[in-house]
């Protein structure tokens, strides 16, 4: 099969990403030059307005945008490509690469370039919070939204916040949250089983036609994909292109149980805990008596109330 020829490729290279090296960056650029009539390379640095430069790529009529970097770089570029005809390709050079992991994109740059040359395109869903904040991995409401910025410090090897994170995790109080789905609670509950063996073992409950439910929990995770943070498999069963969120309610965990659970699901490991309540829906609104912090892909966006909605098939990506 002949390799695909792209009219115009914009390549975003982040040399500060965890696995980026001059040799890898050069090899990606050389391979892309053989596939394109016009290649523009953009080096990512702290002074670059990355979302605006990505939006310029759309206005420049690029048909492929390649991001050689980590989750943060991917997120900012991908946000500008939502609901456009521009295809995103990811060369996962970051430390954890959650979206690439969900897409099963290989780490080897030659294999990535082979996928690009083959034109292996698919469409995936995008999450929206309050109709303005796009996310591709997981959003969260509750204590994890408070902890996430500290976790980012630790990922960046700034460990001064680690003690603060431990204190916050041990001192947090569960909160009462109201979840309002776009379907009955029972339908949202049954939809979350989706053929996954660990989920099939759950007791069937939440019968009735009401579309809202109140639960006490540590936090709620709204998964477009399964992974976030340090490859935490926080929403087991989440699928990137099914038009639904996987919504995990971390209910009645003791503080020690919560810490143990996050240890068990780190590094992409799949582990279902019987105290998790899982739902699946296209839309969910979350309210709480006391204000709870909200994040999307680790970026704080405010506090409850918050409304999440799936944009089905809204992003074109290269993937197997």
The answer to whether 254 and 261 are in contact (CB under 8 A) is no
- Asked if 298 and 219 sit in the same domain, the reply is yes
- Asked if 163 and 196 sit in the same domain, the reply is yes
**What confidence score (pLDDT) does residue 229 get?**
81
**What confidence score (pLDDT) does residue 231 get?**
84
| DSSP character at residue 161 | G
**What confidence score (pLDDT) does residue 196 get?**
55
The answer to whether 91 and 67 are in contact (CB under 8 A) is yes
**Higher model confidence: residue 148 or residue 206?**
206
- Asked if 207 and 253 sit in the same domain, the reply is yes
Residue span of the structural domain in which 78 resides: 9-120
**Domains of the chain: total:** 2
Q: Would you say residue 319 lies in a domain?
A: no
As beta bridge partners, residue 308 has 129, 284
Alpha-carbon distance of 296 to 300, in angstroms, equals 7
Alpha-carbon distance of 60 to 49, in angstroms, equals 16
- Asked if 185 and 110 sit in the same domain, the reply is no
Confidence of residue 1 (pLDDT cuts 50, 70, 90): low
Q: Please state which of the ranges 43-57, 135-149, 303-317 shows the lowest mean pLDDT.
A: 135-149
What is the rounded average pLDDT for all residues in the chain? 85
- Say which CATH number the domain at 307 has: 2.60.200.40
pTM of the model: 0.88
Give the end of a domain, one of 77, 98, 120.
120
**Secondary structure E strands in the chain:** 9-13, 39-43, 64-69, 87-92, 121-129, 133-135, 138-142, 175-181, 212-217, 219-223, 227-228, 232-233, 245-250, 276-281, 283-288, 293-296, 299-303, 306-318
CA angle 72, 132, 55 (to 5 degrees): 60
């Amino acid at each position: 099969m002949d390799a695909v020829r792209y009219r115009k490729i914009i390549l975003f290279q982040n040399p500060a990403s965890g696995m980026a090296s001059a040799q890898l960056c050069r090899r990606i650029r050389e391979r892309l030059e053989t596939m394109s009539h016009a290649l523009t390379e953009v080096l990512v640095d702290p002074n670059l307005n990355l979302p605006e430069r990505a939006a310029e790529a759309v206005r420049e009529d690029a048909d492929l945008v390649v991001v050689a970097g980590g989750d943060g770089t991917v997120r900012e570029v991908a946000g500008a490509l939502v609901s456009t005809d521009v295809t995103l390709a990811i060369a996962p050079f970051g430390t954890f690469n959650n979206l690439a992991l969900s897409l099963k994109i290989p780490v080897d740059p030659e294999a990535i370039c082979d996928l690009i040359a083959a034109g292996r395109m698919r469409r995936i869903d995008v999450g929206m919070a309050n109709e303005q904040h796009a996310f591709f991995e997981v959003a969260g409401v509750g204590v994890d939204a408070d902890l996430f910025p500290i976790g980012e410090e630790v990922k960046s090897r700034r460990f001064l916040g680690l003690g603060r994170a431990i204190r916050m995790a041990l001192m947090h109080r569960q909160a009462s949250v109201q979840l309002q789905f776009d379907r009955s609670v029972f339908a949202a509950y049954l939809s979350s089983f989706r053929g996954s063996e660990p989920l099939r073992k759950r007791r069937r409950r939440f019968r009735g036609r009401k579309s809202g439910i109140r639960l006490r929990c540590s936090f709620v995770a709204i998964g477009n994909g399964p992974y976030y943070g340090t490859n935490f498999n926080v929403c087991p069963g989440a699928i990137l292109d099914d038009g639904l969120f996987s919504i995990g309610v971390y209910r009645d965990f003791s503080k020690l149980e919560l810490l143990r659970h996050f240890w068990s699901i780190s590094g992409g490991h799949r582990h279902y805990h019987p105290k998790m309540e899982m739902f699946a829906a296209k839309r969910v609104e979350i309210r709480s008596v006391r204000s709870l912090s909200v994040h999307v892909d680790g970026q704080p966006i405010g506090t409850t109330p918050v409304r999440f909605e799936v944009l089905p098939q809204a992003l074109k990506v290269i993937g197997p």
